[in-house]
Amino acid sequence: MAKDIPDVFDGIVEVDETYLGGQKKNKRRKQLIKKGLKGKESKRGFGTTKQPVFVILARSGKVFAKLVPDVEAKDLIPIIEKKVKKDTIICYNTWRAYTGLATRGYVHRTVKHNEKEYVDKKNKNNHINGLEGFFGYLKRQLADRGDIRKQRLSFYLA
């Protein structure tokens, strides 16, 4: 429940972003025309028309999820500064929005997904697998409900 979320996360924290929204093949023709996707290839990740969601997970099991307008540093860094205590170990992938967290007082640990690295070989605690598992769970739960509007998506994240 939303009341179980701590005001400030500390300890070891994982941060990542995901995109929520159905596949292009499951959209009606009217929806494709409205979004300008008719005749275009469906994109994955950055640059997609899906709704970005930023998530912070404490290794203790608490999760904070928020809809964001974009996944750039100007959108994500203020949320991290507000929700994560300084000197906290933050594990994240090598997405450019997270660069500069060390200069802001956080201890950073990265995993290189683009190099097929999902757990740091030197330190097995450096991973974001907890978040990846949460993303799978979240997307399965939302898919079971079906036809969730963007306007109502924040209610399902609380």
Spell out the residues 6+ positions from residue 129 whose beta carbon is closer than 8 angstroms to its own: 118, 119
Predicted confidence (pLDDT) per residue in 33-82, tens digit: 555 555 454 555 555 667 889 999 998 889 999 999 888 999 999 999 99
> Is pTM beyond 0.75 here?
yes
The average pLDDT across 91-119 equals: 81
Q: Encoding tokens for residue 62?
A: 């608490």
Q: Among 31-45, 106-120, 129-143, which is the least confidently predicted range?
A: 31-45
At 117, the pLDDT band (50, 70, 90 cuts) reads low
Q: Encoding tokens for residue 13?
A: 């924290």
pLDDT of residue 74: 92
At 154, the pLDDT band (50, 70, 90 cuts) reads confident
pLDDT of residue 39: 47
